[in-house]
Amino acid sequence: MRLPTLRQLQYLTAVIDEKHFGRAAEKCHVTQSTLSAGIQDLEDLLEIGLLERTNRKVLTTPIGEEIAERARQILSLSDDLVDLAQAEKNPLAGRIRIGVIPTISPFLLPRVLPRIRKHLPELEVLLLEDQSERLLEQVEKGSIDIAIMAFPFNTRNLNFRVISQEPFWVALPKQHALSKYTSLQPHQLPITELLLLAEGHCMREHAISACQLPASAQRRSVQATSLYTLIEMVASGLGITLIPQMAINSDMVRHADICLRPLKQNSLANREIGLVWRPSFRRTSTLEELVISFTAAMEEAVI
């Protein structure tokens, strides 16, 4: 019995991801006719239709979607096998694909990347910035190897390790009544003035937890998509917000016309930073070296 090839599975997942034959062919570095013939061979082999082709768009059949999901798992395991073989030759060389959430990447990466270049000069680091849920999907599919995220967060069946904790600080307009205090407790924060990131950003939930507030206790009319936007809103007197400690010494915060006060420490007024990876990822030496580098960079971020 003839079995599908990895190449055929790559063609299928590329078309479904891109929803376009031309873009999928470019992604796979083949001609469109080669890609189309490969998928047709796969359909003939399985004796089922995987795609619905129209003049305007590509649709996936229900069984095609399920097979594509299995194909992603197979391709991910295949990539892990290659990475494992390369790591056996030189554990600290080769390519590593790392995803980072937006509320970590601009503050931690400038500290950690020089350290990685110094201690792991043969390691090629490819970076992707995205929200937590999408990074987990990329890890599961094998598009990236490791994700740097904030916890608590549901990592499903993936492995994870917490490497550090950091508290939140309160950002206030300079003339705000609360600026007279040297530190603030969650119950002091006016709910009606609290500015948060939009849905999909894990720091939104972490900030609500730190303030010990119900999820509905926020200004739904004002939701930002980045920390930079939140800081600008605070500087303009539109409200107050919480920012992670690693951002305190960034140019974005130091040059902003705002007042900063630490949020009184308790078990909830912080977030955990850690790494997430597939159970099948076996480059343990590389992983351990990255843990060391990221942990050291987090320690440098402590004020």
Inform me whether the pLDDT recorded for 302 exceeds 70: no
What superfamily would CATH give domain 164-270?
Periplasmic binding protein-like II (3.40.190.10)
Query: What does the DSSP assignment read for 227-241?
Result: HHHHHHHHHTTS-BE
Which is nearest to 6 in space by CA: 101, 80, 114, 63?
80
In percent, the amount of the chain with pLDDT more than 90 equals 40
Extents of the domains making up the chain: 6-84, 92-163+273-301, 164-270
For residue 177, pLDDT over 90 is answered with yes
Q: Are both 6-84 and 92-163+273-301 of the same fold?
A: no
pLDDT tens string 36-66: 999 999 989 898 899 887 767 788 888 988 8
Under the banding of pLDDT at 50, 70 and 90, the label for residue 159 is very high
Q: Write the burial class of residue 122 (CB in 10 Å: 0-12 exposed, 13-18 middle, 19+ buried).
A: exposed
What does the block give as tokens for 187?
């119950």
Q: Which strand (E) or helix (H) includes residue 293? A: helix 284-301
CATH 3.40.190.10 fits 92-163+273-301, yes or no: yes
pTM, to two decimals: 0.72
Is residue 124 within 8 Å of residue 133, measured between CB atoms?
Answer: no
Task: Output the pLDDT for position 52.
Answer: 84
**pLDDT computed for residue 289 by the predictor:** 92
Tokens at 50, concatenated: 């995987």
Nearest to 243 by CA among 199, 196, 200: 196
Single-letter amino acid, residue 99: G
Give CA 19 to chain center in angstroms: 23
Query: Residues 4, 43: contact at Cβ < 8 Å?
Result: no
Strands (E) located in 91-173: 94-100, 123-129, 146-151, 159-173
Q: What confidence score (pLDDT) does residue 216 get?
A: 58
**Tens of pLDDT along 191-240?**
888 888 877 678 888 877 777 666 555 555 567 778 888 999 999 999 99
The one-character DSSP state at 5 is -
Mean pLDDT value across the chain: 86
Q: What are phi and psi of 276, to 5 degrees?
A: -125, 140
Q: Count CB-CB contacts under 10 A for residue 105.
A: 17
| Torsion of Cα atoms, 65 then 70 then 75 then 79, to 10° | 130
| 63-110 tens-digit pLDDT | 988 898 889 888 888 877 777 677 666 767 788 999 999 989 999 999
Q: What is the pLDDT of residue 55?
A: 66
Measured CA to CA, the distance from residue 138 to residue 156 in angstroms comes to 13
Joined tokens for residue 213: 């507030």
Q: What is the number of H-type helices and E-type strands within the chain? A: 10, 11
Check residues 3 and 176 and name the one with the higher pLDDT: 176
Q: Compare 266 and 129 and report the one with higher pLDDT.
A: 129
Q: What is the CATH number of domain 6-84?
A: 1.10.10.10
**What integer is the mean pLDDT of 187-193?**
86
